[in-house]
Amino acid sequence: MRTDKALLEYHGQPQVRWAFELLSKFCAATFVSVRPDQRDEASRAGLPQVVDRQPGIGPIAGISAALLEHPKAAWLVVACDLPFITERTLQYLIAHRDPQKMATAYRSAHDGLPEPLCAIWEPAAREPVLACIAGGKQCPRKFLINSDTALLDLPEHAALDNVNTREEFAAAAAALQQRPRIAKTVRIQYYAILREQAGRSEETLDTSAATATELYAELRQRHPFQLGPEQLKVALNSEFAEWQTPLKHGDTVVFIPPVAGG
């Protein structure tokens, strides 16, 4: 397929966005790995990014850039073109992580070799990865084969299956139509006129809304809010935010009516 596989839609939105939301449920901070030329691409532009420092050498450029950007963090690295990946697959990987190893990864269901793009890369991998790249070796799978890697069997056999043809994409999209969208829990705090119209100063909501725009539309079904979104601003976790910023599990959202201080 001559297309950007991260932009294919299996779950009602570009896969890179969906994968970002999925990872946000498990990670303290989530980033999308981009080549310099992908920084302004629409689906990636609004997301926190880690930009390749050595573009042109494939996925290992993203892994090494991440390990350099936050050297003390362990990175849960997941390819953004895996349509069948699930929360359970990630939970199992995290639960069985061995931080004493270079990495924790799944064995491929097809050839038994490590899957570098659904794996936890430890801070200790940073120098060896850089040395590997400097030595002209750019295959992250070979790196894991030759390193001290904890290997797990997949709890869901097909979770990391790839899509490579138009026919496979159509079949995968049809199969995934049956699955529900990712639900997340967010807290909404209300002030002033919205507090009075909602009849409460806050509430916690399980929602599949991807953005504040979708969340406000959903809330207008529940409460008699008269103000339109064009009259409001949005804050996420006590900072001003864009309406299109992806909502994460655990976010606190405030819709800000027209202000009148002073």
Partner 1 sequence: MKPFCFSQAPLTPDSYRADLADVAAGGYAAFEGWVRNHNEGHEVTRLEYEAFEALANKEGERIVAEAIGRFGVLRAACVHRVGSLAIGDLAVWVGVSSRHRAEAFAACRYIIDEVKHRLPIWKKEHYVNGDSGWVNCERCAHPHEH
Give residues in contact with partner 1 (CB under 8 A).
189, 191-193, 195, 226-227, 231, 233, 235, 238-240, 254, 256-262
Q: Compute the least distance from the CB of residue 252 to partner 1, in Å.
A: 9
Give the nearer residue to partner 1 in terms of CB position, either 157 or 240: 240
Q: Which helix (H) or strand (E) holds 216?
A: helix 212-222
Nearer to partner 1, 95 or 260 (CB): 260
Contact 120, 75 (CB under 8 A): yes
Q: Note every long-range contact of 33-37, with CB atoms under 8 Å and residues 24 or more positions apart, other chains counting.
A: 33/59, 33/62, 33/63, 33/65, 33/66, 34/62, 35/61
| Shortest Å, Cβ 145 to partner 1 | 48
Q: Phi and psi dihedrals of 205, rounded to 5?
A: -135, 135
Find the shortest distance in angstroms from Cβ 120 to partner 1: 33
Q: For residue 125, which amino acid is it?
A: A
**8-state DSSP, 255:** E
Could you identify the residue written with the tokens 């850039």? 65
**Which is closer to partner 1, CB of 154 or CB of 256?**
256
> Please, what is the minimum distance in Å from the beta carbon of residue 228 to partner 1?
9
Taking the complex as a whole, the smallest distance from the CB of residue 259 to partner 1 amounts, in Å, to: 6
By C-beta, is 95 or 259 nearer to partner 1?
259
User: What stretch of H or E contains 234?
Assistant: strand 233-236
Specify the residue, 150 or 219, whose C-beta has the smaller distance to partner 1: 219
Q: Enter the tokens of residue 224.
A: 């008699």
Q: Residue 36 or residue 258: which is nearer to partner 1 going by CB? A: 258
CA 54 to chain centre: 22
In the complex, what is the shortest distance from the CB of residue 231 to partner 1, in angstroms, rounded to a whole number?
6
CA distance 21 to 44: 13
Residue 145's nearest CA partner among 107, 118, 109, 110 is: 107
